[in-house]
Structure 1
């Protein structure tokens, strides 16, 4: 188990992870959940783990060309958004505490984390028994709920949520956020 423990008290915002094996539907769920949370008045900050190299800008765009030319940090901003790309040299996986420290806590009420399934933060486990992957909760004391599309197949001492019931998941997250702010 990763010892990447996040001290949420010093961070100032509730942090709730969504952990699952690849292919379970974390991004799909979150793209449906975030608008519902926003409708209920929450400002959401999001941290997502990506594998290996990725680009948010595309070849031919100025920001891409400047970063590829050797800028170790590339900040691009407009009246609508800004993005900071930082090249890690030598390559190193940033820990969740380091990433959370880069967020502007004054602009959010809740941080949702996708991936980082081994980080020591409260998490909702997403589980689809049809994928044949083991449950995470038995070995992860930080999992507060299990959202599954079928019975988990073993006793579960965590809150059980229906993975296909977005309303119930929304209410759970709202209540969790209220209890942890």
Structure 2
């Protein structure tokens, strides 16, 4: 099977982004970007991806930094519990409140302002993302992998987790060679599919 055929098979089998699975219709708008950030925070915790996705789905009702701040700590804990994220619910509920307040204070609740501050510098963007409480470098990778759908300057975003998964599947580990067989808007789907398939 050629690389192109393998890439297509992986996409056909597992080509749903984590954001889409969490019910996030990703767009370059404040609410979907914030919901992606919440998902990235959840995926920073040592929980299975499906638990993080389920918890992100439950937290959708608090889909802006202002709504997250307005929610009580108990409401956030209950949403996390409904998503089966019970082991880290209290700490995560606190972090989500603090993170929402940080975004309101620094970026008026709009992650596009963080993007503008990074001004195309990927390292700067990752540093700014990891200032959000409980958002680890792994979570920053998750955010950037998924956000490349709507922030083209991130493309191709292929982090170490994707490289390791591509190696297991016998796919190229060079970002350009791995992604050259798909359109730019499908790179986020491909990176998610490679991770899921491996």
Q: Quick check: TM above 0.5?
A: no
Structure number having the greater helix percentage: 2
Q: Which has the greater radius of gyration?
A: 1
TM-score (norm 2): 0.27
Structure number having the greater strand percentage: 1
